[in-house]
Amino acid sequence: MIIPCIDLQNGMAVQLVRGRNRRLTVRDVFGLLDRFRGYRHLHIIDLDAALRRGSNGRLIRDLCSRARKIGMKVRVGGGIRTVTKARRIIAWGATQVIIGSAAFVGGKINRGFLRRLRSSIGRTRIIIALDTDDGQIVVRGWRVKLSVRPADVLPDLEEFAAGFLCTYVDNEGTLSGTNLEWFRSLRRTTRLPVIAAGGIRSHAEARALSRMNMDAAVGMALYLNKLR
């Protein structure tokens, strides 16, 4: 299954290359929602909140409301660091929240926070993001690299989440294709669902991921009408 992504900065949808260089901007965010309405799921990521540079909360709330009306299930991520914020986003109508940086503290699993979050909103509403650059997990908007790899922590994180969002940051936004071998290796480390992201550019790649029992989160290729 292909999942379109709406990444937000300053009230607009953007697509970045490796999380840093902006390649395109879409001002009509709700137009994107109409464009993606044929898909069952949608990812919305608040890049400003992830980088502690602001919030697109009101826009996300409205997107969640409209998405529900057209039958889309929404996952929201970016800067969700407290249980209170996670609860608020679920109240807006998001099906699940995506937890990235807050899943770690001092380079280790933030078990205290994850337990509180699980107790508050339930394990089925939690997706943990394990974004990887050069093999190592990156947090804080992909600016900080931890000394751990996904395989090191995936089994220990299973008790806190319904699944994982794993982004191959090396190829994110490049339209160069993703690393299927890397995702195969991840598939062997966890029994939970995995959503793959990072450079996916073709239906062939999405089908290959589906055969691994993974969904494909796609951004740049959809925005530029290059998903073939």
The dihedrals phi and psi of 41, each to the nearest 5 degrees, come to -125, 155
> 227: helix, coil or strand?
coil
Instruction: Choose, from 46, 131, 133, 215, the residue flagged as catalytic.
Output: 131
**Cα–Cα distance, 20 to 43 (Å, whole number):** 19
Residue 35 burial (C-beta neighbours within 10 Å; 0-12, 13-18, 19+): middle
**Cα–Cα distance, 208 to 155 (Å, whole number):** 23
Annotated active-site residue 62? The verdict is no
| CA distances in angstroms from 124 to 28, 127, 187, listed in the order given | 32, 8, 19
Annotated active-site residue 46? The verdict is no
> 97: helix, coil or strand?
strand
Instruction: Choose, from 7, 48, 133, 215, the residue flagged as catalytic.
Output: 7
Return the active site residues: 7, 131
